[in-house]
Amino acid sequence: MQTLHHIYQHKIVAIIRGVSADKAKDVAFALAEGGVKILEITLNSPKALQVIEQLADSIGNQVLIGAGTVLDPESARAAIYAGAKFILSPTVDIHTIHMTRRHGAVSIPGAYTPTEILNAYAWGGDIVKVFPASAGVAYIKDVKGPLPQIPIMPTGGVGLDNIKEFKKMGAVAYGIGSSLVDAKQNINDEYLKQLSLKAKQFINAVQ
């Protein structure tokens, strides 16, 4: 699957949460300028479906656009219709996984315990988002011990200070939220310039 290959290749998933709709495009272009090729627009952001559609139309040929914080199958379908190529959830919902796969998108459910992680994968998740990853690298190592076959993407707690350690533990991708895109900051030209530089740092850290 082309989308899955893209995620495995580029690894950094920038989470755009809470950014106003009129600034989301600027943020997306700044991240792309820094080399980030995967963007997650969370559905609890302003006009999220509209933003997904705009980004899919404007830079969808350069950057993979997906939807995050997807809690139910109908939301997954709406996001895919808007242009999302992958669906990320903070939880495991079998109906959302099946809806996502049925429409040809990549499914990345969120799980934490070994039972949840195994179920997420067995029910059709392409990659399992281990969330929150703030428990640290040691937890990922412990989980990978009995479940080495499951591709995992730590999210929540991944930063420049520890991403290389997560890489050593066998993570296939990384969800990066406020340590990359901080929606609380004033999004001006200087912020966007610094965002591109920070994006490059994350890319370099996993190459």
Active site residues: 40, 129
Contacts of 203 (CB under 8 A, 6+ apart): 12, 34, 35, 36
The total of other beta-carbon atoms located within 10 Å of residue 81's CB is 12
Residue 129 three-state SS:
strand
Q: How far is CA 138 from CA 13, 27, 49, 130, in A?
A: 22, 32, 36, 13
Q: How many alpha carbons fall within 13 Å on the CB side of residue 198? A: 20
Q: Which of 113, 112, 83, 111 is nearest to 97 (CA)?
A: 111
Query: Rounded to whole angstroms, how far apart are CA atoms 111 and 118?
Result: 9
Q: What stretch of H or E contains 28?
A: helix 21-33
